[in-house]
Chains A and B, each alone.
Chain A
């Protein structure tokens, strides 16, 4: 952890993007810059050359530009209210003429944005939707995590028996959604098909997750995608490495998949890159697309023994595994029990 004054924290590790000033000073607007870069990259890669009012931009984020707010409050850096929002910078960077929406749905924010973006297309409200996720580490949230974690973890170990908690990460991610016929019509072969995104809320507790709520979002996703648990080859778990999330998530998978819970491969991406908060769902979705395209599943590292609730599950541990993935499920669960789960299908070229 280089971002904050180490003597004030017990945590010593974080997955940071090392782009601060050379003398280590923190700067404002880092997450906005990553977000703009990802969105522009996605638009370019999708081969979109002209933007119009029928393109919408949806962002999922947990912590927004709250780091800039902290730097203003604690360090006296100048701040204008407009810098707390992404829309102005995104409009400048992309020239988008349609709506821009920022959803602050904690750690599942970008999966929510993905589902709501798909809705816009299905409802005929937009013909192209850029969905993005982004987050950086804030001092307040890192402090809060530190405060409530009994012993500072040295690794993030999803579904591991001796897991010690979450380590925060940073990143931004973007994908372009459009109707399949439109993509094919302009000569683009899609990277994957979005079969559906299911959503639910635990309505249970501000921080403690509940397996029933998680299961409800998985069932909703399967219903929307028109699939059954037996169709899922890979689950990109939310797997934060906290005692409570992982326990509830494994129980929810068992609830929904029943005897088939031990069939799909399971990958805990956060062991490799940390918890990128609101970006994490869409980051995992992009990795799932790559897993489908290249027939490799990324490993869950730092792994020695599964927790009891995950015993028998086919967790891809420590080294990547070659596998054909036709259908992937991406779990994302956030503070307050906000759950959004996506199903992606491979495009066979």
Chain B
């Protein structure tokens, strides 16, 4: 039994310019219209001046998730209360490239000291900790396309290992000149469809994970619980591990969030899995079609959408015990992760962990 089953999801937040309501993620049919990103509505103006875009996106998503989870304010003597895991691959690439360019044009004297924290890959995670007083474990995961789901898994492990009672799990990717050029360069060699060039997303999502008993004790509203995880490294066939995860699941998923469909070899495996799917086929959702290439943020967005799905279906249609399957990875030759999220509705209609 995967130990992640004892970890509940109690809060959701996203930061996605152009999205007015998080619930629209379930029904989005086409890309969002271009919109400017203004973090001051949620965060105020103070303390944002030298923060990079990825950090500001992440802070906004955390802000909403913490409100949604109705988390109690941290107390000074409770160091183990809250930890952070952030997943991002491109979080600091722009700062790094700008800094090296500055040095090459002149010298180190031309660098801004304010850029130094932003050159560190973990600046997003530590900035969240400072702003939201998270003094437990603080992690930055840069694990490629599977990174978002890996972050959820690691957060669950951290809770189970008693390193934090709750975790803020964030997936975030910025879009800037460096990212655009990196993707354009990589695309020249494939693997994306030439007729559908990748649109790098600029977005952040956050989920609040808690020890299920602690969540119940504070009468939190629970979206679902982590109910299984599998990870396959690059170059290893991943279809079998996803099939095993689904076959061993206590409830078969009614929604499957697909990995980025721009890669033909990913589509081949997902098509094969669907062909052999035992029983009712799940509804399919490929977030990249509407939101663009979310890369390290995809897994957390999939987690958020899973929760919204479970919430929307809870108590309806007689199928009270529902689950979703999220799969992220494969892009750019990265590893693949799969995560099951399950909701069990009790007799009182209250969500409870599996």
Residues of A bordering B, CB below 8 Å: 4-5, 7-11, 53, 57, 62-64, 66, 69-70, 72-74, 78-82, 84-85, 87-88, 90-92, 96-106, 112, 116, 119-120, 122-125, 138-141, 143-148, 199-207, 213, 216, 220, 334-338
Residues of A close to B100: CB separation below 8 A: 70, 73-74, 138-140, 143
Which candidate, B10-18, B29-37, B233-241, is the interface stretch facing chain A?
Answer: B233-241
Shortest Cβ distance from residue B119 to the other chain A in the assembled complex, whole angstroms: 5
> Within the assembled complex, what's the spacing in Å between the Cα atoms of A96 and B233?
8
Does residue B135 face the partner (Cβ distance < 8 Å to A)? yes
Residues of A close to B111: CB separation below 8 A: 143-144, 147
Residues of B close to A72: CB separation below 8 A: 185
Residues of B close to A144: CB separation below 8 A: 99, 108, 111, 113, 115-116, 119
Does residue B215 face the partner (Cβ distance < 8 Å to A)? no
Residues of B close to A148: CB separation below 8 A: 113, 116
Q: Choose one: A9, A80, A92; the contact of B235 (CB below 8 Å).
A: A92
Residues of B close to A116: CB separation below 8 A: 139, 154, 157-158
Looking at A78, A84, A140, A338, which has the most chain B CB atoms within 10 Å of its CB? A140
Residues of B bordering A, CB below 8 Å: 3, 79, 83-84, 89, 92-93, 95-97, 99-104, 106-109, 111-113, 115-117, 119-123, 125-127, 129-130, 133-144, 150, 154, 157-158, 160-161, 163, 178, 182-183, 185-186, 189, 231-236, 241, 332-335, 337
Assess the B141–A147 pair: CB atoms within 8 A.
no
How many A-B residue pairs have C-beta atoms within 8 angstroms? Tell me: 242
> Within the assembled complex, what's the spacing in Å between the Cα atoms of A10 and B111?
13
Given contacts A207-B116, A216-B135, contact A106 B122 (CB under 8 A): yes
Residues of B close to A11: CB separation below 8 A: 108
Shortest Cβ distance from residue B183 to the other chain A in the assembled complex, whole angstroms: 7
Assess the B129–A337 pair: CB atoms within 8 A.
yes
Given contacts A101-B143, A206-B130, contact A201 B335 (CB under 8 A): no
Assess the B108–A146 pair: CB atoms within 8 A.
yes
The chain A residue with its CB closest to the CB of B115 is A144
Residues of A close to B185: CB separation below 8 A: 72, 78-80
Looking at A74, A100, A101, which has the most chain B CB atoms within 10 Å of its CB? A101
Assess the A120–B127 pair: CB atoms within 8 A.
no
Assess the A99–B161 pair: CB atoms within 8 A.
no
Residues of B close to A141: CB separation below 8 A: 119-120
Assess the A122–B161 pair: CB atoms within 8 A.
yes
Assess the B144–A8 pair: CB atoms within 8 A.
no
The chain B residue with its CB closest to the CB of A213 is B135
The chain B residue with its CB closest to the CB of A4 is B103
Assess the B3–A125 pair: CB atoms within 8 A.
yes
> Within the assembled complex, what's the spacing in Å between the Cα atoms of A334 and B102?
25
Residues of B close to A97: CB separation below 8 A: 232-233, 236
Assess the A143–B99 pair: CB atoms within 8 A.
yes
Assess the B126–A338 pair: CB atoms within 8 A.
yes
> Within the assembled complex, what's the spacing in Å between the Cα atoms of A201 and B163?
11
Given contacts A70-B97, A87-B334, contact A201 B116 (CB under 8 A): no
Assess the A123–B160 pair: CB atoms within 8 A.
yes
Shortest Cβ distance from residue B195 to the other chain A in the assembled complex, whole angstroms: 21
Q: List 11 A-B pairs, Cβ < 8 Å.
A: A64-B142, A70-B96, A79-B182, A87-B335, A98-B233, A105-B139, A112-B137, A147-B109, A147-B116, A199-B136, A213-B135
